[in-house]
Amino acid sequence: MKRLSVLVLLIFLTLAGVKAQDKDALSTPLTKKVDGYYVSIGVVEIAQLKDSFPRAYRLLVKHHGKPAASDTHHVAVSIWRQEGKEFRYLSDFDVEAEVRSQLMRAERKKLGRYPHQYGDNYGAWFNMSDKGLYHISVIIKDGGREKKVDFDYLIQ
């Protein structure tokens, strides 16, 4: 499962290089379409991030600060639009995420922006130490409007 998490993160981080197979762009359980743009999430264990991607870990610490002792995972959010064969990252939103475990423990945080080679992403550290199904709500604020996008993520 750890390898799968890394694979999901790598797919997420290289999304702009992916060529869409159809006009609805990338269709995965971790990407959803909302009002003409897409919202994608990536989740990776902090220990794995430190070991396998130390440069990425240092970048995230620079932009989010060090994870708290109870934090176990980084949740990343990308908001993007497909324009022809190109992907354009959108970074002019305020974004929050609420991560809820199957035990109904919830943690809501404002996500900080951090640079990505194709545009800004959003992210924060979270405690996802329980095994099982998590519900992740991404709240996107654009001026006075607010959109909520829901995802499920399994930790085994």
User: What pLDDT shows up at residue 15?
Assistant: 41
* Per-residue pLDDT at 23 exceeds 70: no
* Residue 141 maps to a domain: no
* Averaged pLDDT of the chain: 84
User: What pLDDT shows up at residue 42?
Assistant: 94
Task: Compute the distance between CA of residue 93 and CA of residue 79 in angstroms, rounded to an integer.
Answer: 9
What residue type is assigned to position 149 of the chain? Answer: V
| Host domain of residue 84 | 2-14+27-91+108-129
What residue type is assigned to position 142 of the chain? Answer: D
User: What pLDDT shows up at residue 27?
Assistant: 58
Average pLDDT over residues 124-128: 97
Q: How many domains does the chain fold into? A: 1
Total length of the chain: 156
* Residue 69 maps to a domain: yes
- Residues 87-114 have pLDDT tens digits of 889 888 999 999 999 887 899 999 999 9
Average pLDDT over residues 123-142: 95
* Residue 112 maps to a domain: yes
What residue type is assigned to position 10 of the chain? Answer: L
* Residue 122 maps to a domain: yes
User: What pLDDT shows up at residue 26?
Assistant: 54
* Residue 55 maps to a domain: yes
* Residue 6 maps to a domain: yes
User: What pLDDT shows up at residue 7?
Assistant: 38
* Residue 80 maps to a domain: yes
User: What pLDDT shows up at residue 87?
Assistant: 85
* Residue 40 maps to a domain: yes
